[in-house]
Structure 1
Amino acid sequence: MTAMPSHHHQQAPFQFQQQASCVGVGLPAPPVSSAAPVAQYAAGGQMFVGDAAESGVTFGGGAGAAQQEMVAMAMAPRKRKRVVEQGRTPPVLEIGAADVAAHFHQQLVDVDRLVLQHTAKMWADLTEQRRRHARQVVATVEAAAGKRLRAKEEEIQRMGRLNWALEERVKSLYVEAQVWRDLAQSNEAASNALRGELQQALDAQQARLCGGAAGAGTGTGGADDAESCCCGENDVVAGAGAGGAGPEDEEEAGTSSPPGQRRTCAVCGEGAAEVLLLPCRHLCACAPCAGAARACPACGCAKNGSVCVNFS
């Protein structure tokens, strides 16, 4: 019995399984295929006995029926054996199926390995990209923060310089205020001293006026005016003695008015003597003459100031 072609081997498992199932339940087996196998035909073109029994062809008239039954009975065990043998898978097909399964499994393993490699590479690329992006973000944030920090440091330095300048200004203003305070205190002390001296001069003049009224005709008024002279380095009249001015000056500046009347100006003789000249403290000039005079008209002492006296 020769081997069957490959295309018949591919269809055999399914067909033989159907026949085996039919034989097991006692049903007639359906025809396997319309195409007869190559092994069922003889070399000389004669039909195989088993094929003749299956095909139902009669031989030689009426005697062919009995002969056909005998052939069928003789071939029945052989036919059943052939159906059983055809129901099994040939070893060659089992080896080929195992090779195909192994090859298919190897292909699956290779595909899984490629997928895993590609996935690992993709995850590595994504991780590196994420790290690079994080580094870029950190660098950008650090640059912005550094710029703001430098701006704040410059502002702090500028405010420090401004504070130092303001502190220096406050110190200078404090020193200046202290100087002005000392000057104000000294001026206040000088004004208090001048006020006291003026009050003393007014009291002395009032006493002289009262004394002149009591000793009229003795000429003591001129002597009183001469006694109030303050001689020193400011004197402009040459030949003045240590005791005061001469008799003519005393006569000229010390002409006292009658009691109850004010003295007249020693310069113009018209205005009332109401300006006290300093430093000699002579009350002998009116306001216009005292402003124009450079020296006291009574003693000739150089004038360095004047005080207006209000007798009202």
Structure 2
Amino acid sequence: MAVQAQFCYENMSLPLPILPSLEIGFSLQEFPSQQNAQSLVSMMGYQPLDAQLEIQRQELDCFLQLRNERLRYALREQRNEQLGNLLKTLESKAMYLLTRKEEDLVRATNKRMELEACLREVEMECESWQRLAQANESTAMDLSKRLEQAKDSSAEDEESAEDEESCNKDQQQERDDKMACKHCSSRSSCVLFLPCRHLCSCKSCEPLLVSCPFCKSVKEGSIKVFLV
């Protein structure tokens, strides 16, 4: 074709247009055979210039259309490859994130189970402390009642002790009155008169008495008595 166009332009004394190289992206099957080319050259030799330009324009359009289709195919394949790589990268990242999330979920589940176990232990301990507090409260109430009873019994004991002490004082006073000297009534009796054997005189009054101050019998003798 280029030879035929060059021949035509040389015959018509016109400048030869720049055509694209036939080696770019074409195989030998895409162009006519040598016989067809010779017949085409012979035909173009007798065709007018407009017809030859139209043929060349059609050939350029076919060439450009084929190049565009191959470029679109190459771009589509490249885009598909890039999309595939991007999908693989996103899938790997998604799997990594999913694995991390599953591990976080497992850790969170274990932590929740530990917290639930701790909560149960705290509840059990709280219940035991409540039972202990109730037991201590009942013990405190019992001790309070016992303390009140002890106070009451202590008051009663104090009253009985006071009564007993008063009684003892009366008895002691009575004994003191009985043991007082019958002559002076100020000192205790410590001399026993004979023969009546009455203990009725103190040591100071005994030499002054000639008879028993209690029964008035004549004193024949006396004996000093030591009370233990």
Q: What TM-score do you get using the length of structure 1 for normalisation?
A: 0.39
TM-superposed CA distance for 1:271, in Å, is 7.7
Specify the code of the residue in structure 2 equivalent to 1:174.
Answer: S
TM-superposed CA distance for 1:152, in Å, is 1.0
Partners of 1:153 and 1:181 in 2: CA distance: 41
Unaligned runs of at least 5 residues, structure 1: 12-37, 40-88, 215-254, 262-269, 273-285, 287-312
Unaligned runs of at least 5 residues, structure 2: 5-20, 25-33, 36-58, 185-196, 204-224
TM-superposed CA distance for 1:171, in Å, is 2.0
Counterpart of 1:258 (choices 200, 215, 218) is 200
Alignment of 1:80-119 (within 5 A): 93-119=63-89
Contact 2:181-2:201 at 8 Å conserved across structures: no
Identity level (%): 11
Specify the code of the residue in structure 1 equivalent to 2:174.
Answer: A
The answer to whether the aligner puts 1:10 opposite 2:10 as a matched pair is no
Contact 1:213-1:259 at 8 Å conserved across structures: yes
Counterpart of 1:172 (choices 142, 163, 168) is 142
Paired position in structure 2 for 1:145? 115
Instruction: Check 1:105–1:155 CA distance in 2 against 1; reply closer, same or farther (3 A cut).
Output: same
Partners of 2:86 and 2:105 in 1: CA distance: 28
TM-superposed CA distance for 1:104, in Å, is 0.8
User: CA RMSD, aligned part only?
Assistant: 4.1
Contact 1:212-1:256 at 8 Å conserved across structures: no
Paired position in structure 2 for 1:239? none
Alignment of 1:1-312 (within 5 A): 9-10=22-23, 93-209=63-179, 213=183, 256-260=198-202, 272=227
Specify the code of the residue in structure 2 equivalent to 1:258.
Answer: C
TM-superposed CA distance for 1:106, in Å, is 1.4
For the pair shown, the structure with the greater C-alpha radius of gyration is: 1
Specify the code of the residue in structure 1 equivalent to 2:80.
Answer: D
TM-superposed CA distance for 1:2, in Å, is 9.5
Partners of 1:135 and 1:111 in 2: CA distance: 35
Instruction: Check 1:160–1:176 CA distance in 2 against 1; reply closer, same or farther (3 A cut).
Output: same
Contact 2:183-2:201 at 8 Å conserved across structures: yes
TM-superposed CA distance for 1:143, in Å, is 0.6
Specify the code of the residue in structure 2 equivalent to 1:198.
Answer: N
Instruction: Give the secondary structure class of the aligned counterpart of 2:202.
Output: coil
Instruction: Check 1:2–1:210 CA distance in 2 against 1; reply closer, same or farther (3 A cut).
Output: closer
Paired position in structure 2 for 1:278? none
TM-superposed CA distance for 1:120, in Å, is 4.4
Q: Which protein has the bigger helix share?
A: 2
Q: What TM-score do you get using the length of structure 2 for normalisation?
A: 0.51
Contact 2:181-2:202 at 8 Å conserved across structures: no
